[in-house]
Structure 1
Amino acid sequence: MTKTILESGDLRETETAYELTGPLSRVTIPATLHDSLMARIDRLQPIKEVAQMAACIGRNFDRAALEKIAGVSEQTLDDALVQLEQSELVFRRGAPPDASYVFKHALVRDVAYESLLKRRRQDIHARLVEVFEAENAAPELTAYHASQAGLTEKAAEFWSKAGSQAQARPAYDEAANHLKTALIEVGGLLDEPVWRERELELLVQIAQVYIAKEGYASAEASEAFGKAMQRIAATDSAELRVAIYYGAWIAPYIGNRLYQAYETANRLVEAMSGEAELIPRLISRRMRAATLISMGRSPEALEDLKVAYDLYQQAEITDFATKFAQDPGVQIWCYMHLAMWMCGDREGALVVADRSMELARHLNHANTFCYAGLHDITLALWEGDISRARKVTEEMRQVAIEHDMSLWKLYAWIFEAVTSCMADEADGPARVDAALKDYRATGCWLWAPLFLAEQAKAQLRAGDAAGAEAAVKRGLAEAEVCGERWAIPELHRILGDISRSQGDSAAAAKAYEQAAADARAQGAVLLLARAEAAIEGL
């Protein structure tokens, strides 16, 4: 307020004081701070326009960008910037011509900005778009100015680009914000078919971001996939349709509603079988294979995975991070090593698992690494390899914490609990119960029967036969309801061990025979070998 009155000309400075230059009634006192700042800026002629253009750049601006849009000589610009400094409306950092500036307060910048007519503001923002686009500046910077300029198509393009770059780093919160802004811009362009399809692409990409950050049961991801499914008729792209169907499949898959997941995946494989595009066929096969493995049908899954891998080798996949939650090659290998192990190729499974982890580390993509880790640890559980499971669990936990990925933090906790059972730590079974409670609360339940099997083994080794039997029966009940049958042979074998520990050889033999029959029906060679060894040991 003091600055406003001093700059008004209604006072003059003497050696000892300030004196009025006219009647007191002529002195105008602004009613608000906003009015005061506006009055100061209005008196900045002829440098007001420089302040306004600087305000269009932002609260922080540099001389180089301002020079490219100012349309005045270097000397005129420098004189204007000096006057702005002297008025204490802006502060300078560095020396011209490399100086940068900041408005004293955000309100100062806002007042200068609002003093421009809307059309003039848009013209300045449009010139800034040209400048930043030519300089290959950060896409979010160009996108912001395009939005302010009313250049809707360009704004959508650059917000999308900014979101993709953030997703690839990964910086998931930033990516989601940029992509949602792109979606808003696209919402004004839906009269044209090309933009209706672009809307679908953005919805899928937003869903993938939330899957990576929050997990497969993410409400944001489900909402985005749901909107995309409602609008799926807007695209003829097989790849995009597969991505949308993936959203319909992943929730029942990770939620362990495998009959529903299989129906969706099987329908998609049939729909994509005649497509010329390779990636849609690859993804549909991989989806069905993943479901088949957990359903105890690994030989069938291997057939799908062989087809998927052949397609993967033929396909040219670029920028996978914006199209898929994980690298498709790593995905295929993850399920391939689990299916191979089930079918009896133990050594081959371990080789493929090592290859999967190696590629995941090389790609340096957080979600791909955690995905590979999940399946590698699961293989280690089947192997009984505590050391491997714990090593990869800790790696996964660190990555999940670094990138704030809630699902992978939860899986790390589950595996820490399960491996504590494998190591016969006293609190292991209780930790599994606590972890599974949180797991179910997220809407996830995949492989819960396998985790319960490890809990039961630990309880039996600790002499708690009743607790072990309760865990096995819970696992068997869950398997029947969910359709996750791959752990059933192991659960029956554990039930035999429980009967054997109680001296009931007949019940043990019956359980072992059931385990062998289940494993034989599934083509689970290694689980069959375990059951047969138990029978021989009676």
Structure 2
Amino acid sequence: LDLLVDRVQGAPVLVLITFRPQFEPPWTHYAHVTALTLSRLSRRQGAAMVARLSGGKALPPAVLDQIVAKTDGVPLFVEELTRTVLETNLLRDEGDHYALAGPLPPMAIPATLQESLLARLDRLAPAREVAQVAAAIGREFSHELLAIAAALPESDLQAGLDDLVGSGLVFRRGTPPQASYSFKHALVQDTAYATLVRAKRQRLHVRIAAALEHDFPETVQAQPELLAHHYMEGGLAEPAIDYWLRAGQRAITRSAMAEALAQLRNGLDLLAGLPEVDRPRRELDLQVALGVALMATQGWAAPKAGRANARARELCEQLGATAQLWPVLYGQWVFHGVRGEHNAARNVADEFLRRAQERHDTSAAVVAHRICGTGALWRGELPAACIHLERTLALYDREQHHSLASLYVQDPRVAALSGLSWTLFALGYPEQARTRSREALDAARELAHLNTVAYAHPFVRVFLRAVSSGVA
């Protein structure tokens, strides 16, 4: 949002941003930004809103007074409570106004928004089950998924949806069965969801997850967090953990590291629900991904990243897991290196390279030579740095190794080119150094991996400024 607000200056654009009072917007210092405080409705405004909802027909003063008093100027509550009253048998339509059908019971008008919404749902008895299933799916839901999850005859399903849409509690876009729906407000969804008993709620979530797996493969691919959520709420820890891991790994590939952290931690929290024999393997995968996300968000030397990698290393040794060991060793190398613990970092890099060569693993060797070369540059061992970084470039294959960026936070080729530019300059080859630095920027842009771009740009631009000023 900060970037958006900054860029619309002088453009023929109106941007409307709403937020709650506790949020402190960082852009109020801009001259083109105006802040408006939306207060609660006054009694006059509340009464005017009631009149509009009643079609201009006046309500009995006692009823109007209770609506205005209980809603306390909250527009959504005014609307919902007015609709609740109009749908009951409290009032009698007299043509141009409403009259009380009898004495007004003391508790006839709900005192809270949730009570009002619940009363409206209760009066839509045939639609209530449809609303419950829809609420378990989410704020928005498709006709197709709802039909599978609800397991109702199409006529009953359609009648329930028509009632919900007619009541204004749900909005519809499109024509069934291609229609999509959304609850009018999150509170409507919450109220419908709260009416589900725990056992039925769990069964619904499992049914929804199974439907997504079987009939919506594109959703499984694009939004694994949805299946993770439904399996978790359904009480099935094993598939929930698997999908939280997939969601976290996918978020890492998109450089959405904050999302990845939340998703991976959800998976770790569920491990206690697995049999003890199944925990280490799944924890290892989660810890490896968590270490990557922590390094990207909290810094290379962050204690939490160090602990995640140390735990992953312990699990690798316990399970004899080689494939997962590579990113763990990388995490330990960068943790020690950024902290200035160069001997410890060198030991990890040497172990990385030795293991990669023993297993004839080219992908691991690409990364191993990169970290050996970068470590040598840090220590001022320039000829060794040059040899290792050039070896990285020789082994790197664009098609085979571009995915390494997600596993190691940055692309090893771009990192090697960036380091090599400094190494060559220090060895007395400024033109070669300049060429390598430009290659690094071009490769980072081509890869379009955010953390790689963020690594290459300041690294190379500082170098280019140093070269142009003759200082390095």
* TM-score (norm. length: structure 2): 0.70
Give, in angstroms, the shift of residue 326 of structure 1. Answer: 1.1
The answer for the alignment partner of 1:200 in structure 2 is 284
Matched residue type, 1:59: R
Give, in angstroms, the shift of residue 197 of structure 1. Answer: 3.0
Mapping of residues 27-176 of structure 1, within 5 Å:
32-133=112-213, 134-135=215-216, 136-137=218-219, 138-139=222-223, 140-176=225-261
Distance in 1 between the 2:113 and 2:378 partners? 67
Give the gaps of 5 or more residues in structure 2: 1-80
Change (3 A) 1:259 1:33: same
Aligned with 1:283 (options 362, 367, 372):
367
Question: Do 1:278 and 1:315's aligned partners in 2 also have CA atoms closer than 8 Å?
Answer: no
Mapping of residues 267-346 of structure 1, within 5 Å:
267-270=351-354, 272-313=356-397, 316-317=400-401, 319-346=403-430
Distance in 1 between the 2:260 and 2:302 partners? 16
Question: Do 1:269 and 1:281's aligned partners in 2 also have CA atoms closer than 8 Å?
Answer: yes
SS in 2 for 1:112: helix
Give, in angstroms, the shift of residue 187 of structure 1. Answer: 5.0
The CA RMSD measured in Å over matched residues stands at: 3.4
Distance in 2 between the 1:179 and 1:243 partners? 16
Greater relative contact order (Cα 8 A, min sep 6): structure 1 or 2?
Answer: 1
Q: Deviations over 1:158-186 (max 9, x none)?
A: 33333333332333322332333233344
Q: Deviations over 1:120-151 (max 9, x none)?
A: 22222223223333321131333322322233
Question: Do 1:275 and 1:281's aligned partners in 2 also have CA atoms closer than 8 Å?
Answer: no
SS in 2 for 1:116: coil
Change (3 A) 1:37 1:214: same
Q: Deviations over 1:346-372 (max 9, x none)?
A: 554444333333222210112212323
Question: Do 1:10 and 1:27's aligned partners in 2 also have CA atoms closer than 8 Å?
Answer: no
SS in 2 for 1:385: helix
Distance in 1 between the 2:200 and 2:410 partners? 45
Matched residue type, 2:245: S
Change (3 A) 1:48 1:352: same
Give, in angstroms, the shift of residue 19 of structure 1. Answer: 4.1
Matched residue type, 2:261: A
Matched residue type, 1:159: W
Give the gaps of 5 or more residues in structure 1: 387-421, 423-453, 455-489, 491-538
Q: Considering fraction of residues, name the structure with more helix.
A: 1
The answer for the alignment partner of 1:373 in structure 2 is 457
Question: Do 1:235 and 1:241's aligned partners in 2 also have CA atoms closer than 8 Å?
Answer: no
SS in 2 for 1:326: coil
Change (3 A) 1:235 1:351: farther
Change (3 A) 1:305 1:190: farther
SS in 2 for 1:283: helix
Matched residue type, 2:250: Q
Aligned with 1:258 (options 326, 342, 353):
342
Give, in angstroms, the shift of residue 213 of structure 1. Answer: 3.7
Change (3 A) 1:236 1:322: farther
Change (3 A) 1:243 1:340: same
Distance in 1 between the 2:246 and 2:286 partners? 11
Which stretch has the larger CA shift, 28-37 or 130-139? 28-37
Matched residue type, 1:371: Y
The number of residue pairs the alignment matches comes to 386
Change (3 A) 1:363 1:289: same
The answer for the alignment partner of 2:447 in structure 1 is 363
The answer for the alignment partner of 2:269 in structure 1 is 184
Give, in angstroms, the shift of residue 344 of structure 1. Answer: 4.7
Matched residue type, 1:256: G
Change (3 A) 1:82 1:277: same
Change (3 A) 1:175 1:107: same
Distance in 2 between the 1:233 and 1:315 partners? 31
Distance in 1 between the 2:270 and 2:198 partners? 19
Question: Do 1:239 and 1:277's aligned partners in 2 also have CA atoms closer than 8 Å?
Answer: no
Give, in angstroms, the shift of residue 291 of structure 1. Answer: 1.4
Matched residue type, 2:190: D
Distance in 2 between the 1:27 and 1:120 partners? 31
SS in 1 for 2:126: coil
**Structure 1 segments of 4+ aligned residues over 6 angstroms from their partners:** 23-27
Distance in 2 between the 1:62 and 1:313 partners? 43
Question: Do 2:405 and 2:412's aligned partners in 1 also have CA atoms closer than 8 Å?
Answer: no
